[in-house]
Structures are given as C-alpha cells and as structure tokens.
C-alpha cells in the first residue's frame, strides 16, 4: 500500500482516530496470520469468523488495526482507528487511494479466464511499466479493495480482476475505482444459480463498462455474442479481439502443438506477427489475444509485447502440466463451469496420449437445473476421451449423460481422496489426465496425493 499514517487511514476510511495517528503503515491485511511488522490489520466480520477474535494476535506484530469495537486494553505504541463497518472502511480506503494516487487501473471480468488473462496482462504491461496485480483470485467485495489498498507507492499500473455472483457486486467494485480499461473475456452460464439465465449474467457483467471511465476503453471478445451485445452501451473506445471473427486484434493461422502450446499469427494494426504461446488450448490463446490488445491500449510497444509473450506462464492450478510416472497430469482444478469444462475437454481431445482420462468433479452454483447442466455436459464430452471419472454427487448426472452418449468406461467417486486412491493405481505411462472441478470440490487434493507418490 502507499505509506500512510493512521491519521491518513482514519480520514480516508471514514473512521475515528483512537490513538497512534503518526504511526506509519505500508500494508493492509485481513488475516492475522499474514500480519507483518508494517501492517495495519482490518478486523473484518465475516459470515463464519470475526476478525476481532484475532485482534490481540495481530497487534503483537502489526503497527495497529482498524476495528468496529475498540478493545478495553489497547497496547501502547499501536495505531487504532474505529469505524462503523470494517468491510466498508476497507472499500472506502480503496476509493480514496484511487482518487489520490496516479496509476492506470485495468479491470478484467468474464465467466472464465479472468485470472489467466490478468496474469498475462500483468506480464505484458510489466515489460515496460511498474505493474502491481491482484493475487490469486482476489476479486470480490473484500479481495478487490484489498488489492487496491496494497498498491505500492511507485506502481504505474494496477491489474485487477472483478468477479461476482450477485447483481450489483461489480457495480460496487468498479464504482469504487472507475477503471481506465475494462476487459471482457467471455460470458457464459456461471453462477447461474443466482441469476437464472445467461442474459441476466450478461446484464450484471455490464456493470463494469458502466463504471469504466468514459474517456477510457473496453477490450471486448468479438467471438462472444453476449459480450458484444452489452458492449453497445459503452460510450467510449471499444477495442475488439478474437479468433473466429474479424477483429482489431485477431489470431489467425492457429497451429495447435498439444501440451507444448499454440503457434499462431497475430494480425493487428496492419502487421502480422508470428508468435508462440507456451500454454495449450484455444481458451488460453483467446486470453493472450485479449492481453495483447489491452497492452497496446496501455501503450506498450510491440517489441516489449513479443518479449512478454515468451514469459507467459500458467496461473496456479489453471492448466499446469505435471509429469507423473511417465504420464501427464493437466491440473485445471481451480474452478469449473460447463463453458470452461467444454474448453478443457476440447484440449484433451486434441492431445496425443495413450489414453485420455477426464477426471471431472461437481460444478457448483448452477442453480435448480444443475443436474441438467451436468447431464448435458456429459453428453457433449468428445468421443476421443477414453475414460471418464466423476467426483461428487452432481458428477453422477454427468456420467449418466456420458453413458447416454455411448461412453462405457466410467467411474464414480464421492470425494477427491477416493478418486485419488483409484488413480494412483489406474494411471499408466503415456496417459494424459485432465483434472477439473469447481474449487469447492477440492480436486487439487488429487494432484497433491499423486505428487507425493511419484
């Protein structure tokens, strides 16, 4: 974060300074286990935990805290700010930092690919400008402002993703910081439990462009009809990218190289560049073209972009290749939905392998029709897949759909541990194993189990 005193924090967060106004801080944390000597701890009251329970622990190391309840015995030499609501104070601080500091803010939203696109944009823009990015998938009403609150003094660019599972969330987040550039990956049936239709999801995603600065720009995927439809309402500059349709930044002459990645020609601004992406799959190529278009809008030179493309790596649990006993695991366990699953299965279909094994866990937040979505996803699994392993209650419907489509080698397990134990002895040399599910199912534990037994 910028170097701030507790007097600054009280003013910017909308609170009352209790003590320690001249004490300086340089980082904001909401987890007492992550408190450092220069931290201010925000005691967030969540659904399960109240940060005030860990206040004593936080004050042992940190410079002070922002609280809604001041303890009776406050240690000397610590800064304390009292607010009505610590979550709102965290958001207020982000708004104030954005208003008082001069940095370019790039915000990414979409149903799939947000984190990977964020990482790619940060890599490309970071070739020329001091760039700070949100970590993990910190993209909600707490994570997004926390990222802004920690932007360093010398940052020139901040790259942040903005997620949502209810209408109004992106409006709040984007309304706090008013991005200079808004980036859309795609819109599909994600969090449909809370929205009912993809059209309503698109309406909620529209909140980013409604809060992007009118003098700024939005970067939009021409291959996604929902993105194109809502983008008509943005009054500022629109920059298009894609693969299947004409766009300002378009990937053509695409040559899949299996797990080695993708070679392609980028056509943009009257030039043709032959590039290679180390990440496999069309979905990653889409993300990269979005990142290239965004980097150009941010003013990054072509020479720097070409260098940056060579530095792009997969994000944590998002398409990470793991060699295992002569086989290959494709760890895509961070999240899943029917749209993203289809893309991952298409990659598995194209790859060369002795056997193509799809380990598919439950997809969450699909609403009352969740079993229908799973069953339909099972019917759409490519014929080239040799073995399907379903994990979780909902995955049984996916296996039913696959059986209806003619698949015969099907296995079902209730949890990740059972599936991992099966795979330990089932996977053979030359196999390619896709492992994918919603984060809440915890299929990353399968990868951990297997890696321990190499």
Would you say 347 and 254 are in contact if contact means Cβ atoms under 8 Å apart? no
> Span 218-242, mean pLDDT?
95
Q: Are residues 57 and 153 in the same domain?
A: no
Q: Are residues 250 and 344 in the same domain?
A: no
Taking only the tens place, the pLDDT of each residue in 394-424 is 999 999 999 999 999 999 999 999 999 999 9
Q: Are residues 367 and 340 in the same domain?
A: yes
In a domain, 203, yes or no: yes
Q: What is the pLDDT of residue 2?
A: 76
Would you say 103 and 47 are in contact if contact means Cβ atoms under 8 Å apart? no
3-state secondary structure of 321: strand
Cα(360)–Cα(74) distance, integer angstroms:
51
Q: Are residues 133 and 218 in the same domain?
A: yes
Cα(453)–Cα(258) distance, integer angstroms:
26
Is the pTM value of this prediction over 0.85? Answer: no
Q: Are residues 172 and 275 in the same domain?
A: yes
Q: How confident is the model at residue 85 (pLDDT cuts 50, 70, 90)?
A: very high
E-strand stretches of 244-402: 249-256, 262-268, 271-277, 320-324, 327-332, 356-361, 387-391
In a domain, 66, yes or no: yes
In a domain, 431, yes or no: yes
Q: What is the pLDDT of residue 136?
A: 64
Q: Are residues 253 and 110 in the same domain?
A: yes
Q: Which tokens in the block code for residue 391?
A: 């994990």
Mark which of 279, 309, 339 sits at the end of a domain: 309
E-strand stretches of 69-170: 79-82, 104-109, 131-133, 157-161
Q: Kindly report the CATH number assigned to the domain that includes residue 251.
A: 3.40.1190.10
- Total of domains in the chain: 3
Taking only the tens place, the pLDDT of each residue in 125-147 is 999 999 999 876 566 888 889 99
In a domain, 352, yes or no: yes
Cα(351)–Cα(21) distance, integer angstroms:
60
Mark which of 309, 331, 359 sits at the end of a domain: 309
Q: Are residues 267 and 216 in the same domain?
A: yes
Q: What is the pLDDT of residue 319?
A: 79
Taking only the tens place, the pLDDT of each residue in 15-45 is 999 999 999 999 999 999 999 999 999 999 8
In a domain, 314, yes or no: no
Q: Are residues 71 and 172 in the same domain?
A: no
User: In the chain, what percentage of residues exceed pLDDT 70?
Assistant: 97
Is pLDDT above 60 for 195? no
In a domain, 94, yes or no: no
Q: How confident is the model at residue 190 (pLDDT cuts 50, 70, 90)?
A: low
Q: Kindly report the CATH number assigned to the domain that includes residue 76.
A: 3.40.1390.10
Q: Are residues 291 and 235 in the same domain?
A: yes
Q: Are residues 60 and 107 in the same domain?
A: no
Place of tokens 């979905």: 283
Mark which of 280, 309, 338 sits at the end of a domain: 309
In a domain, 315, yes or no: no
Burial (CB < 10 A; 0-12, 13-18, 19+), residue 46, is exposed
Give the mean pLDDT of the chain: 92
Q: Which tokens in the block code for residue 190?
A: 């994600």
Task: Give phi and psi for 335, each to the nearest 5.
Answer: -160, 165
Q: Are residues 105 and 214 in the same domain?
A: yes
Would you say 436 and 348 are in contact if contact means Cβ atoms under 8 Å apart? no
Q: Kindly report the CATH number assigned to the domain that includes residue 352.
A: 3.90.190.20
Q: What is the pLDDT of residue 191?
A: 54
Q: How confident is the model at residue 1 (pLDDT cuts 50, 70, 90)?
A: low
Q: What is the pLDDT of residue 113?
A: 87
Taking only the tens place, the pLDDT of each residue in 142-177 is 888 999 999 999 999 999 998 876 788 898 889 999
Cα(334)–Cα(342) distance, integer angstroms:
15
> Span 219-240, mean pLDDT?
95
In a domain, 91, yes or no: no
Q: Structural domain of residue 18, as residue ranges?
A: 4-84
Taking only the tens place, the pLDDT of each residue in 331-383 is 999 889 898 899 889 889 988 899 999 999 999 988 888 999 999 999 999 99
Q: What is the pLDDT of residue 316?
A: 72
Q: Are residues 80 and 148 in the same domain?
A: no
Residue whose C-alpha is closest to residue 228's, from 215, 237, 219: 219
Q: What is the pLDDT of residue 412?
A: 98
């Amino acid at each position: 974060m910028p170097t701030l005193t507790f007097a600054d924090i009280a003013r910017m967060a909308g609170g009352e300074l209790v003590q320690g106004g001249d004490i300086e801080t340089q980082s904001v944390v909401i987890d007492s286990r992550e408190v450092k000597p220069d931290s201010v701890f925000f005691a967030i009251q969540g659904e399960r935990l109240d940060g005030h329970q860990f206040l004593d622990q936080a004050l042992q190391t940190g410079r002070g805290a922002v609280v809604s309840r001041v303890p009776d015995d406050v240690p000397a030499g610590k800064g304390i700010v009292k607010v009505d609501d610590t979550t709102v104070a965290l958001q207020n601080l982000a708004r104030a930092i954005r208003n008082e500091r001069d940095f370019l803010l790039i915000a990414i939203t979409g149903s799939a690919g947000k984190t990977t696109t964020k990482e790619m944009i940060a890599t490309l823009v970071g070739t020329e400008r001091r760039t700070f990015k949100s970590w993990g998938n910190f993209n909600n009403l707490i994570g997004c402002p926390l990222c802004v609150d920690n932007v360093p003094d010398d940052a020139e660019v901040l790259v942040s993703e903005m997620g949502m599972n209810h209408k109004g969330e992106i409006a709040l987040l984007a309304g706090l910081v008013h991005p200079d550039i808004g980036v859309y990956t795609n819109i599909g049936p994600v969090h449909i439990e809370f929205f009912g239709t993809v059209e309503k999801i698109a309406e909620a995603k529209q909140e980013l462009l409604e809060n992007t600065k009118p003098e700024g720009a939005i970067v939009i995927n021409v291959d996604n009809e929902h993105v194109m439809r809502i983008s008509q309402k943005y009054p500022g500059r629109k920059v298009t990218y894609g693969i299947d349709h004409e766009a300002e930044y378009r990937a053509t002459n695409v040559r899949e190289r299996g797990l080695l990645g993708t070679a392609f020609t980028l056509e943009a601004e009257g030039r043709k560049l032959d590039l290679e992406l180390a990440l496999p799959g069309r979905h990653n190529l889409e993300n990269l073209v979005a990142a290239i278009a965004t980097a150009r809008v941010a003013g990054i030179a072509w020479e720097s972009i070409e260098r940056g493309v060579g530095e792009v790596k997969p994000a944590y649990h998002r398409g990470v290749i793991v060699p295992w006993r002569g086989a290959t695991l494709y760890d895509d366990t961070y999240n899943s939905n029917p749209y993203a699953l289809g893309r991952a299965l298409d990659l598995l279909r194209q790859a060369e392998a002795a056997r193509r094994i799809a380990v598919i866990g439950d997809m969450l937040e699909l609403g009352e029709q969740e079993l229908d979505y799973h069953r339909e996803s099972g019917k759409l699994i490519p014929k080239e897949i040799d073995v399907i392993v379903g994990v979780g209650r909902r995955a049984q419907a996916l296996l039913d759909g696959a059986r209806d489509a003619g698949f015969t080698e099907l296995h079902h397990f209730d949890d990740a541990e059972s599936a991992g134990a099966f795979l330990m002895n089932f996977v053979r040399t030359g196999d390619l194993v896709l492992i994918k599910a919603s984060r809440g199912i915890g299929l990353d534990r399968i990868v951990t189990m297997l890696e321990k037994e190499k």
